[in-house]
Structure 1
Amino acid sequence: MKSHLNVHYFQHIAGEGFGSCYSFLKQHQAHITATEFFALPVDQPLEIEALPSVTDVDLLIIMGGTMSVNDEANFPWLKIQKRWLRRYLSMGKPAIGLCFGGQLIANALGAAVNTNQNQELGWMDVHKVKQQAVECFQLPEKFNVMHWHRETFEIPKGAIHLAENDVCRNQMYQIGRNVLGFQFHPEITPESLTLFLNDDDELESFKGKYVQSEQQLKITPKSSFHAGNLLLNRAIEYVLQDNYC
């Protein structure tokens, strides 16, 4: 990976940050900046010029969020964010979307994001989808990662469906060699999981047989985080490969 990349991330929840990939990117002397959408004034419209120039960003990482990508009435910055995304992606630049971020990329490209049949919260297995005869990001046959979502994306037109499980069919997709969208949270760390668990209102809104209890999640062993964290590091290298490696 090229050193001194300009990495920008879209953050939607206070304190969520980069998760596990921050230290990985810093090892490569990445220059990291952020747009904190949660801190924007409600009564002040966001101008697209307030976002970084697409030519100045080498890698975009879009983090999770508790809002819906469809809720543009309550979060008017979503329209501007999607416009900027379309401009950025039209240039073939590298991007990774994590949970809400994966939904946002899909939706910006015209794919629907709807309520999943079951809410999914906790550590659950994901399976690799049998690949088509094209070069794809390589996944293990099965891996265990953190999930935290009510809605899910349809696979964008022209994208490749990479991963699924019994709870949510669309767990991951790839567009070209420069975009990877995740429905799960490979970036989660013990610290960010604690932050999620401190949001009582968010926890109480999840119900169903695929929702693990707060008590279960609090005793998650540190080894559980490794598979997702390594997967995300590999994903970053993959989307940068044809651009900056």
Structure 2
Amino acid sequence: MRIHVFQHVPYEGPGNIARWAEKNGHTLTTTHLYEGEALPSHDDYDLLMILGGPMSANDDFNVDWMQAEKRFIREAMAQDKMLLGICLGSQLIARVLGATVSKNEDREIGWFPITATPNAMVLGLPQQFQAFHWHGDTFTLPEGAKSIGSSEGCAQQGFIYQDRVVALQFHLETTPEAARELVDACRHEIDEEGPHTQPAEAMLVDFELFSEANQRMEQIMGYMQAQLEATATVS
């Protein structure tokens, strides 16, 4: 499987997905949008992975590359490509599908449980699990999409669209090292008085949480791989 990554900031990379790809013999290439790199050809990848970032999915006129990125996402879906969106990536996919992206009532930052819907079973996710969060925006569920879960702090935590598109508001790919980078870069966003925000130090101490989250991310990547193989068999 050829995985291509859209990365929006230096400190939000693919995390343990890069390790999973290497372990399973998949290639992983990256467009660093914040460096002005050119977008790839749609012929050059099988799975498009869209990562997080501090900007809003509504910043079409404030972020140089955002309109081009949305066009690319729209084209990818029209060509029946596999897509995985994480955090900002999930919001960009939601916008392309006609949903609304807006400020969440409160920021959700740190480790908080997600209650999954039955739709999440195909991703290997249990009814409740811990995930790492770092977002201030949320989205409405796009028409035709299947919600995969919610948390106390955010009603929409992700969706599956036409089996080929997976959008995750939360982070399961984050490693301890990646979390430290995020805290260092975005510590100013942490409101320790907020109802759904943890202190920075509390986010980093439990390595077992990262390990369990990374295993769940690998299960989701396994789903994406299986869907791609099924599509190739049919065609």
Counterpart among 203, 207, 219 of residue 222 in structure 1? 207
Task: Give, in whole Å, the separation in 1 of the partners of 2:11 and 2:198.
Answer: 23
Counterpart among 162, 167, 192 of residue 176 in structure 1? 162
Greater percentage in helix: 2
Question: Secondary structure of the equivalent of 1:146?
Answer: strand
**In the alignment, is the contact (CA less than 8 A) between 2:91 and 2:101 conserved in 1?**
yes
**In the alignment, is the contact (CA less than 8 A) between 2:11 and 2:182 conserved in 1?**
no
Counterpart among 187, 210, 221 of residue 203 in structure 1? 187
Gaps of 5+ in 2: 231-235
Task: Give, in whole Å, the separation in 1 of the partners of 2:136 and 2:50.
Answer: 18
**In the alignment, is the contact (CA less than 8 A) between 2:12 and 2:53 conserved in 1?**
no
Aligned to 1:33: 29
Task: Give, in whole Å, the separation in 2 of the partners of 1:130 and 1:160.
Answer: 10
Cα 1:138–1:217 change in 2 (3 A) is closer
Letter in 1 for 2:153: V
**In the alignment, is the contact (CA less than 8 A) between 1:165 and 1:171 conserved in 2?**
yes
Task: Give, in whole Å, the separation in 1 of the partners of 2:88 and 2:2.
Answer: 22
Question: Secondary structure of the equivalent of 1:71?
Answer: coil
Letter in 2 for 1:6: R
Measure how far apart 1:143 and its partner are: 0.2
Single out whichever of 186-195 and 13-22 deviates more from structure 2: 13-22
Measure how far apart 1:130 and its partner are: 4.2
Measure how far apart 1:105 and its partner are: 0.9
Structure 1 runs (4+) deviating above 4 angstroms are none
Question: Secondary structure of the equivalent of 1:69?
Answer: coil
Letter in 2 for 1:226: S
Letter in 2 for 1:73: F
Letter in 1 for 2:23: Q
Task: Give, in whole Å, the separation in 1 of the partners of 2:98 and 2:11.
Answer: 30
Measure how far apart 1:204 and its partner are: 1.9
| TM-score, structure 1 as length reference | 0.88
**In the alignment, is the contact (CA less than 8 A) between 1:94 and 1:240 conserved in 2?**
no
**In the alignment, is the contact (CA less than 8 A) between 2:124 and 2:220 conserved in 1?**
no
Measure how far apart 1:21 and its partner are: 1.0
Aligned to 1:68: 56
The yes-or-no answer on 1:104 pairing with 2:92 is yes
**In the alignment, is the contact (CA less than 8 A) between 1:126 and 1:163 conserved in 2?**
yes
Describe how 1:139-150 pairs up with structure 2 within 5 A: 139-150=125-136
**In the alignment, is the contact (CA less than 8 A) between 2:190 and 2:199 conserved in 1?**
no
Single out whichever of 94-103 and 12-21 deviates more from structure 2: 12-21
Aligned to 1:54: 42
Letter in 2 for 1:122: G
Question: Secondary structure of the equivalent of 2:9?
Answer: coil
Question: Secondary structure of the equivalent of 2:61?
Answer: coil
**In the alignment, is the contact (CA less than 8 A) between 1:143 and 1:227 conserved in 2?**
no
Task: Give, in whole Å, the separation in 2 of the partners of 1:165 and 1:15.
Answer: 25
Q: CA RMSD in A?
A: 1.7
Identity %: 31
**In the alignment, is the contact (CA less than 8 A) between 1:20 and 1:189 conserved in 2?**
yes
Aligned to 1:43: none
**In the alignment, is the contact (CA less than 8 A) between 1:10 and 1:35 conserved in 2?**
yes
